[in-house]
Amino acid sequence: MVQQILQTCVGSTLQEIWEEASVCTRCELHRTRTKVVFGSGNPQAKIMFIGEGPGQNEDETGLPFVGRAGQLLTKIIESVGFSREKDTYIANVVKCRPPGNRVPTDTEMATCVPYLRGQIQNIEPKIIVLVGATALKGVLDIKSPITKIRGQWLETPFNNAKAMAIFHPSYLLRNPSSEKGTPKWLTWNDLLEIKRVYDELMSSP
């Protein structure tokens, strides 16, 4: 099953991958979805944010990160001078909402991640930001706690792209303090480091 999707996605355009994903029935998540949530933003962006999966708002609109957590992610992105629409592309590991917003299973992620790999292949980001522990696990198969791994630059198999994991904005909503050392403060510093490296990469010949 996964190999079949990989064969479909390798060498395909974003439009072709979206068309395939939009009618996908390869895992149980398709039974309860309203809309497939493929991705949004600039397909020529050099920075890509990858989350876990759609929530209720995303399932209803077909767009990633549009609920409360998504609104906070937009503020985080814009706080360091990025434009969400112009400078980033945003997608999720799974394209359909898990019932009750539960964490997607390993099987669901493994079945769906070839679509994401196809997106990465087309977009060719220089930096991949993994939003939360599930994205870290689903994309790089790293199972370390997000508290241990966030803020570190990670190697990827995607055309020499750098990756960094950050706290999920839903976690930051539950921990709203911006005092030094808090998750929100740490995330702000992670984004500053991401912006610094992004600017260096973009200024290189």
Distance of CA 87 to the CA centre of its chain: 14
pLDDT tens per residue, range 92-122: 999 999 999 999 999 999 999 999 999 999 9
Rg (CA), the chain: 16
pLDDT average, residue stretch 63-72 = 97
Question: What is the Cα–Cα distance from 123 to 43, expressed in whole angstroms?
Answer: 5
pLDDT average, residue stretch 10-28 = 91
Residue 1 has pLDDT above 50, yes or no: no
Residue 171: which residues within 8 A CB-CB, separation 6 or more? 132, 183
3 versus 198: the higher-pLDDT residue is 198
CATH class of the domain comprising 2-203? alpha beta
6 versus 38: the higher-pLDDT residue is 38
Coil, strand or helix at 47: strand
pLDDT average, residue stretch 128-136 = 97
pLDDT grade for 2, boundaries at 50, 70 and 90: very low
What phi, psi does 97 have (nearest 5°)? -70, 125
pLDDT tens per residue, range 145-190: 999 999 999 999 999 899 999 999 999 999 999 999 999 999 999 9
Give exposure, 141-180, as e/b (b: 16+ Cβ within 10 Å): ebeeebeebbbeebebebeebbbbbbbbbbbbeeeeeeee
pLDDT grade for 12, boundaries at 50, 70 and 90: confident
What pLDDT is stored for residue 66 in this prediction?
A: 97
What pLDDT is stored for residue 95 in this prediction?
A: 98
Percentage of the chain modeled with pLDDT above 90: 91
Look over the chain and give the mean of its residue pLDDT values, rounded to a whole number.
Answer: 94
Order across the sheet with 154-155: list the strands: 39-41, 88-92, 47-51, 127-131, 162-166, 154-155
> Are 142 and 134 within 8 A, CB to CB?
no
pLDDT average, residue stretch 60-78 = 97
